[in-house]
Copies of this chain bind each other. A is one copy, B any other.
Amino acid sequence: MRTHLDCFPCLVRQALDSVRLFCGDEAVHERIVDDVLQELLVMDARLPPPKMGQRIHRMIRELLGEEDPYGEIKERSNVLASEWRERLRGRVAQSEDPLETAVRLAIAGNIIDYGPTSHVDPDRVAGTIEHALVAPLDLGTVEELRRAIGQAETILYLGDNAGEIYFDALLVEQLPAQKVVFAVRGAPTINDATLEDARAAGLTDRVRVIDNGTDIPGTVLAECSPAFREVYARADLILSKGQGNFETLDDDSDRVFSLLMAKCPLVAGQLGCPVGSIQLRRGCAAAP
């Protein structure tokens, strides 16, 4: 999915919000906003928005002199999500359709805003989860996914954020472990999950975990490591989590299933769904 003009103000906004999380110096904020404006003027709009996200967050890390500014936020998200996972595992097992429930919870993990502060309102998290458990979802696609899981030899699960990865683990538990490869980002970028988070969430004990070799908050195949690309090429089924993966994946085969909340009007427009709705879709943004 290319970067639309509507993404421009949003990217400036996101950069400003991000740098403010870690630094109170307005001169630094100005510097980042100026750098983003410059980048927007020269960027190739045929590239997906997460490519610009990569550049922005590289600039922020460089300017702050920190390799992983979101480290603490990710840790807190993991602790919180870990507690929720323990409470939710039983609900998956006892539900009428554990696969559907796990799909819903994996999407819920994508919605929860752990936020920059240590305080997260437990009622709001509970509300998000209960909403995802009952919100409209295409059950026909759940059936297609069930069949695809049964037929697949290799299932590649593209993770998204820290915290969220604990909810992904609940869905991974519904898959045949020996067939699953779970992929994380190759280096810290925003609050995206890396190998460290996959280990913390216990995924490394259960399935093969690889990293994609990049710091793009998405999956741009051309920039991923050869090892990742090989796994990708061989996978019969790809579970793509979150907007970043949805926007970046360039794959028009029907082996891709995207699980996400449509967080912005452009993605919602592409999916033909309301902003804020939860989606299990066959295909990604590149699909015809």
Seen from chain A, the residues whose Cβ lies within 8 Å of a Cβ on chain B are 5-6, 8-10, 12-13, 16, 26, 29-30, 33-34, 37-38, 40-41, 45
Main secondary structure of the interface of A (DSSP, over half): helix
Ordered by A's residue number, 10 sampled pairs between the chains whose C-beta atoms are within 8 Å are A5-B16, A6-B16, A8-B16, A8-B37, A9-B9, A9-B12, A9-B13, A9-B16, A30-B45, A37-B41
Q: How many copies does the complex hold?
A: 2
A26, B5: Cα distance in complex, Å = 9
A29, B5: Cα distance in complex, Å = 8
Given contacts A10-B9, A16-B9, contact A34 B41 (CB under 8 A): yes
A40, B5: Cα distance in complex, Å = 16
Nearest 4 Cβ contacts at the A-B interface: A9-B9, A9-B13, A9-B12, A37-B37
Query: Which residues from B are CB-within-8-Å of A26?
Result: 5
Query: Which residues from B are CB-within-8-Å of A12?
Result: 8-9, 12
Chain B residue with the shortest CB-CB distance to A11: B9
Chain B residue with the shortest CB-CB distance to A45: B30
A45, B38: Cα distance in complex, Å = 17
Query: Which residues from B are CB-within-8-Å of A33?
Result: 5, 8
B40 touches A37 (CB 8 A): yes
A34, B45: Cα distance in complex, Å = 12
Least CB distance from A38 to B in Å reads 7
Query: Which residues from B are CB-within-8-Å of A29?
Result: 5
A53, B125: Cα distance in complex, Å = 40
